[in-house]
Amino acid sequence: MNTSVSHNQRVLSGMRPTGLLHLGHYHGVLKNWIELQHSYECFFFVADWHALTTHYENPSIIAQSSIDMVVDWLAAGVNPGSSTIFIQSRVPEHAELYTLLSMITPLGWLERVPSYKDQQDKLKDRDLSTFGFLGYPLLQSADILIYKAGHVPVGEDQVAHVELTREVARRFNHLYGKEIDFEDKAQVAIKKLGKKNAKIYNDLKKRYQEQGDGGALSVGYALLSSQQNISLGDKERLIGYLEGGGRIILPEPQSLLTASSKMPGLDGQKMSKSYNNTIALRESPIQIEKKVKTMPTDPARIRRTDAGNPQKCPVWQLHQVYSGEDLKNAIIDGCTTAAIGCVDCKQHIIDAILTELKPIQRRAKDYQDDRSTVESILNAGCEAARDVARDTMEEVRKAMGITLR
Ligand code: TRP
Ligand code: SF4
Q: How far is the CA of 176 from the centre of ligand 1 (A)?
A: 26
User: Does the residue 5 lie in any domain?
Assistant: no
Alpha-carbon separation of residue 372 from 71, 83, 120, 282, 359 (angstroms)? 12, 19, 39, 20, 21
Cβ–ligand 1 contact at 189 (below 6 Å) = no
17 with 166, same domain: the answer is yes
The partner residues of 231 in beta bridges, in order of sequence, read: none
Ligand 2 within 6 A of CB of 313: yes
CATH code, domain with 286: 1.10.240.10
**For residue 11, what is the enclosing H or E element?**
strand 10-15
Give the number of other Cβ atoms within 10 Å of residue 51's Cβ.
22
90, with CB counted inside 10 A (0-12, 13-18, 19+), is middle
> Ligand 1 atom 9: the closest Cα is on which residue?
140
Closest by Cα among 238, 99, 230 to 177: 238
Kind plus residue range of the DSSP H or E element containing 79: none
pLDDT digit string (tens) for the chain, length 405 residues: 344 444 578 999 999 998 889 999 999 999 999 999 999 999 999 999 999 999 898 899 999 999 999 999 999 999 999 999 999 999 999 999 999 999 999 999 999 998 888 888 888 888 888 999 999 999 999 999 999 999 999 988 899 999 999 999 999 998 998 777 888 999 999 999 999 999 999 999 999 988 888 899 999 999 999 998 888 889 989 998 998 878 889 999 999 987 666 899 999 999 998 899 999 999 999 999 999 999 999 999 999 999 999 999 999 999 999 999 999 999 999 999 999 999 999 999 999 999 999 999 999 999 999 999 999 999 999 999 999 999 999 999 999 999 865
Identify whether residues 384 and 334 lie together within a single domain: no
Residues 31 and 133 in one domain: yes
The sign of the CA dihedral 56, 61, 63, 68 is negative
CATH number, domain at 129? 3.40.50.620
Helix (H, G, I), strand (E, B) or coil at 10: strand
Q: Could you give phi then psi for residue 211, rounded to 5 degrees?
A: -115, 0
Sign of the C-alpha dihedral, residues 118, 123, 128, 129? positive
Among 45, 128, 161, residue to substitute to test ligand 1 (most atoms within 8 Å of Cβ): 161
Number of domains in the chain: 3
**Coil, strand or helix: which one is 116?**
helix
CB 144 within 8 A of CB 44: no
Q: Is 37 helix (H, G, I), strand (E, B) or coil?
A: coil
35 lies in the same domain as 147:
yes
Establish whether residue 382 lines the binding site of ligand 2, counting it when its CB lies within 6 angstroms of any ligand atom: no
Q: Let me know whether 194 and 304 are in one domain.
A: no
pLDDT at 5: 45
The pLDDT of residue 199? 96
**Structural domain that includes position 306:** 282-368
In whole angstroms, give the CA distance from residue 399 to residue 171.
13
E-assigned strands of 225-301?
A: 254-257
DSSP assigned state of 153: E
pLDDT of residue 244: 83
| Closest residue CA from atom 8 of ligand 2 | 342
Mutate to test the pocket of ligand 2, among 301, 312, 351 (most ligand atoms within 8 A of CB): 301
Query: Does 335 share its domain with 392?
Result: no
Ligand nearest to C-alpha 44: 1
Alpha helices in 89-147 (DSSP H): 93-102, 107-111, 114-122, 131-134, 136-145
Centre of ligand 1 from the C-alpha of residue 16, in Å? 7
Question: Are 217 and 140 members of one domain?
Answer: no
Are residue 121 and residue 152 in the same domain, yes or no? Answer: yes
* Furthest C-alpha separation in the chain: 84
Going from the Cα of 310 to the center of ligand 2, the distance in angstroms, rounded, reads 6
Report the side by side order of strands in the sheet with 254-257: 83-87, 41-46, 10-15, 151-154, 254-257
- Asked, for residue 250, whether it belongs to a domain, the answer is no
Ligand 1: centre distance to CA 213 (Å): 36
Q: Is the CB of 47 under 6 A from ligand 1?
A: yes
Does ligand 2 lie within 6 Å of residue 292's CB atom? no
In a domain, 269, yes or no: no
Q: DSSP H helical segments within 23-179, as ranges?
A: 23-25, 31-36, 48-55, 60-76, 93-102, 107-111, 114-122, 131-134, 136-145, 159-176
403/176 Cα distance (integer angstroms)? 14
Task: Specify whether the CB–CB gap between 3 and 243 falls below 8 A.
Answer: yes
pTM of this structure: 0.87
